[in-house]
Amino acid sequence: MIFKQFSRSVLLIACFAFLGFSARAQGDATKGEALFKANCTTCHKIESQLIGPALGPLVTSETDDKWLYKWVENNQALIAAKDAKALKIYNQFNQQGMTVFGQFSDGDVANILAYIRADWKTQQAAAAPVGGAAGAAAADAGPSNLVIFGLIGVIVIAFIVILVLNKVIATLERLLLKSKGLWVEEENTEVAEAKAKVSANRMAAIKKMAKNKKLVFFIILCGTIACGSWTWVTLWNTNVHQGYQPVQPIHFPHDLHAGVMKIDCQYCHSGAYKSKNASIPSLNVCMNCHKVVKTESPEIHKIYDALGYDPKTQKYDSTKARPMQWIRIHNLPDFVYFNHSQHVKVAGIKCQTCHGPVQTMKEVYQYSPLTMKWCIQCHKRTEVNYKGNAYYDNMIAVHDRIKRGEKVTEASMGGIECGKCHY
């Protein structure tokens, strides 16, 4: 009896221990979603690799939730203890340790695991081809394009057949009438004579108009004015490319970045504040965000290809890097000097003054004509804010010296600055 009771107790304890080690987390997926988005999304995605591995297949394939608790709460302790699973993950990701979440309880980790497994299951179900209701929905989507184009083809062929048959019928009727007499020929002769008379009358009217000197002079005058106006407009707009919108190698939506997300223009075009040129942003500026944002986009993968970047290993291969062939939109003649910093920093002019509402443009185009007349008109109506400006303070000081009769040289007015001659 004692042996039986002892054996039953041992078996019961063994069963509970087995269930405790092998049972999966029965957590709250709703609470787990909030914890996951607040703590995990910086390094992990459920469906694909980011900085860390894709959690969906990893968590689903791992049946030992107790080990997952230990890994999330203190992965460094597992690595230090030479745990085989921990070392495999640690070495796979270039020995980059995961953040230690000591503030998490086993219940918090169970909630996160429940959310990951539920979301991964939902994604797998959505991606898998299924029948039943999905098939019925597909059937209700309407006829396929092949059926529609087939019907259009049948209609076109029927229309052509009708035209050909009408032509054949008309020819047969003409042959039948010819076989019975000459009435059709006489009718055709009369019609031909009538047409000839109309044509002769038209030629006579044209000759009469050609002899009218006033009418001829008026026509020549109008033609000269029209040709001259067309020539003037064409020459005036030579090298003016307003509305120019080339196709760029990467589709960059300014309305999303500058409009919806309100990213400052100078975050990318940093040279506009301190340099003559606004500068084309380096692709590394794009990678500040797109190393983790919209990594699945084909347009973002063009950036990866240009940099020789592998999103899976997160490493750069300089041998695969190549320059991005952007197409310049705003282009001034070589004899024109334009300094962005003078307009942006000194004058405080907004980028939209010249480049238009870029925050609403799907693709940037040349908004302004960029002609001399356009620049001069802007300079005439733009007020100069000279208060607190060192350049104008110096000019006022020079004028005061001139009034006092003191010696003033070109150097005192900035005449020896390099940019006066070398630009």
| 44 and 68, same domain (yes or no) | yes
The amino acid that residue 132 corresponds to is G
Other CB atoms within 10 Å distance of the CB of residue 326: 13
CB 272 within 8 A of CB 344: yes
| 396 and 377, same domain (yes or no) | no
| 186 and 206, same domain (yes or no) | yes
CA–CA separation, 273 and 348 (whole Å): 10
CB 318 within 8 A of CB 341: no
Provide the pLDDT for residue 308. Answer: 94
What SS3 state is found at 315?
Answer: strand
How far apart, in Å, are the Cα atoms of 183 and each of 167, 178, 187, 196, 197?
A: 21, 8, 6, 20, 21
Last residue of a domain, one of 353, 368, 384: 384
Q: What is the pLDDT of residues 246-280, one digit of tens each?
A: 999 999 999 999 999 999 999 999 999 888 889 89
CA–CA separation, 1 and 342 (whole Å): 100
Provide the pLDDT for residue 354. Answer: 93
Provide the pLDDT for residue 143. Answer: 54
Residue 317 located in a structural domain:
yes
CA–CA separation, 237 and 371 (whole Å): 9
Provide the pLDDT for residue 236. Answer: 83
| 199 and 101, same domain (yes or no) | no
Residue 315 located in a structural domain:
yes
Average pLDDT, the chain: 80
Host domain of residue 304: 254-384
Residue 248 located in a structural domain:
no
Last residue of a domain, one of 59, 94, 127: 127
Whole-structure pTM value: 0.50
Q: Given pLDDT bands bounded at 50, 70 and 90, which one contains residue 7?
A: very low
What value does the mean pLDDT take over residues 85-105?
Answer: 75
Residue 241 located in a structural domain:
no
Residue with tokens 């020539």: 231
What SS3 state is found at 226?
Answer: helix
| 267 and 369, same domain (yes or no) | yes
Quick check: 3 pLDDT over 80?
no
What is the torsion angle, in degrees rounded to the nearest 10, for the CA atoms of residue 300, residue 302, residue 308 and residue 313? 40
Per-residue DSSP letter, 243: T
| 406 and 380, same domain (yes or no) | no
| 343 and 285, same domain (yes or no) | yes
| 88 and 21, same domain (yes or no) | yes
Residue 116 located in a structural domain:
yes
| 56 and 73, same domain (yes or no) | yes
Residue 11 located in a structural domain:
no
Total number of domains in the chain: 4
Residue 114 located in a structural domain:
yes
| 185 and 276, same domain (yes or no) | no
Helix axes 283-290, 298-307, angle to 10 degrees: 130
Q: What is the pLDDT of residues 293-316, one digit of tens each?
A: 888 899 999 999 999 999 888 899
Q: What is the pLDDT of residues 144-179, one digit of tens each?
A: 567 777 778 888 898 898 888 888 888 887 777 777
* End-to-end Cα separation, the chain, in angstroms: 105
Last residue of a domain, one of 369, 384, 399: 384
Residue 242 located in a structural domain:
no
Other CB atoms within 10 Å distance of the CB of residue 38: 9
Helix axes 65-80, 106-127, angle to 10 degrees: 120
| 193 and 310, same domain (yes or no) | no
| 28 and 113, same domain (yes or no) | yes
Quick check: 187 pLDDT over 80?
no
What value does the mean pLDDT take over residues 218-239?
Answer: 88
Could you tell me how far CA 36 lies from the centroid of its own chain? 29
Max Cα-Cα span within the chain: 140
**Domain CATH number, residue 87:** 1.10.760.10
More confident residue, 399 or 179: 399
The amino acid that residue 55 corresponds to is L
